[in-house]
Amino acid sequence: MLLISINVKAQNDSGVFYIADIEVNAGETYRGFLEVPAMQNDPGTVIPITIHNGSSPGPTLSLIAGIHGSEYSPILSMQKVSELIDPTELAGTLVIVHIANMPAFTGRTIYFGPQDRKNLNRSFPGDPEGTVTERVAHVLTTEIIDKSDYMLDIHSGDANESLRPSYSAYYAEAGGKEVIAESRRIAIAFGLETIVQFAGDYDSLDEAIYTSAQAVKRGVASMDVESGELGMIDDSYINPITNGVLNVMRELEMIAGEPYLPTNPLFINDRARIYSEHNGIWYADPLVKTGDYVSEGTALGVITDYHGNELETVRAPASGVLLILFGTPPVNEGDNIVVVGKVMN
């Protein structure tokens, strides 16, 4: 049973779907842009989107790629998904945000936008009078999240991050029982063998600075995806995203077919992190790979100064699955260089 009344957020009785000044008739597709206006000396930007408005009623599912501009596998997957959907055979509405953060994508930056040095995934719900990143977050909140019944925030490891295995994730404490149950439902339906449960409830919308945290606090069932690493565009990272989106659409009865459901997924209910205490050069231990199970204290790499003098041996902060490990040499104080997922008993 669907969590939210079908299409009450963005469709009228005739089946026309509305976002901003865009109208899409039932059974039709729109390809174009959402505008993020300029502010005085702060330039605006655009957000490329596709809207497939189905010919029959169903939920509104939004897919957001490119929150971080150098996470390429989700961006390429969205092009594939868009071409696979026929709105005349679709129940409900599929909204695809191809590249949420165009300044970071065109500027080839990791984590932050090049103009204001802000992380879009720390900027929700945004500010219509703020910097360009904050204005992008505001447009995504008001024109995408608020008009969705379900939302997928799709990521990969950034251009400097090794990330394995691919996993889906959902907030296990935020949003209320129904939202949590529906978020878990689509996270499992995505079909990956590893599922991370995010901790934390948020007292206010302003505290929910992450894309999917903002969504669940607004009553929108949401999940995250991580598939890909180091700026790579290999099909082994792109295809799981494409297949997972189609799986979720089958689970929501938006398209025909039965979803593949993992029989015994690995659940991770806590994550331990290490943040660099130094500026310098990072050497990952070649014997350790992301996706490996590591024991607490296992050596994961070394940080040296710029002349090669060792500053620190970095060791696993806990036992569990090594989810993320820095994969390129530059390291700055405060960088999150290691993430270990603690496996649920």
Classify residue 185: in a domain, yes or no.
yes
Question: In this structure, what CATH number is given to the domain that contains residue 285?
Answer: 2.40.50.100
Classify residue 264: in a domain, yes or no.
no
Same domain, 31 and 166: yes
Same domain, 304 and 172: no
Same domain, 134 and 231: yes
Listed residues 251, 279, 298: the one ending a domain? 251
Same domain, 83 and 185: yes
Same domain, 97 and 187: yes
Q: Is the pTM of this model over 0.85?
A: yes
Q: How confident is the model at residue 155 (pLDDT cuts 50, 70, 90)?
A: very high
pLDDT at 4 over 70: no
Question: In this structure, what CATH number is given to the domain that contains residue 99?
Answer: 3.40.630.10
Same domain, 238 and 279: no
Classify residue 39: in a domain, yes or no.
yes
Residue 105, C-beta contacts closer than 8 angstroms, at least 6 positions apart:
66, 69, 70, 75, 99
Domains of the chain: total: 2
Given a contact cutoff of 8 angstroms between Cβ atoms, the answer to whether 340 and 318 are in contact is yes
What is the bridge-based pairing of β-strands 22-24 and 17-19? Answer: antiparallel
pLDDT at 7 over 70: no
Same domain, 85 and 198: yes
Same domain, 133 and 175: yes
- 107-148 pLDDT, tens digit each: 999 989 999 999 999 999 999 999 999 999 999 999 999 999
Listed residues 184, 216, 251: the one ending a domain? 251
Same domain, 236 and 127: yes
Classify residue 4: in a domain, yes or no.
no
Work out the average pLDDT over 324-344. 94
Given a contact cutoff of 8 angstroms between Cβ atoms, the answer to whether 132 and 106 are in contact is no
Domain that holds residue 36: 17-251
Judging by beta carbons within 10 Å of its beta carbon (0-12, 13-18, 19+), is residue 21 exposed, middle or buried?
A: exposed
Beta bridge partners of 36: 45
Classify residue 308: in a domain, yes or no.
yes
Classify residue 11: in a domain, yes or no.
no
Listed residues 190, 221, 251: the one ending a domain? 251
DSSP for 231-247 reads T---HHHHHHHHHHHHH
Instruction: Give the C-alpha distances (Å, rounded to integers) separating 301 from 259, 275, 282.
Output: 40, 13, 7
Same domain, 188 and 297: no
Given a contact cutoff of 8 angstroms between Cβ atoms, the answer to whether 256 and 249 are in contact is no
- 14-43 pLDDT, tens digit each: 799 999 999 999 999 999 999 999 998 888
Classify residue 7: in a domain, yes or no.
no
**Cα–Cα distance, 206 to 125 (Å, whole number):** 6
Same domain, 125 and 164: yes
- 258-308 pLDDT, tens digit each: 998 898 999 999 999 999 999 999 999 999 999 999 999 999 999 999 999
Mean pLDDT of the chain: 94
Same domain, 133 and 233: yes
Classify residue 216: in a domain, yes or no.
yes
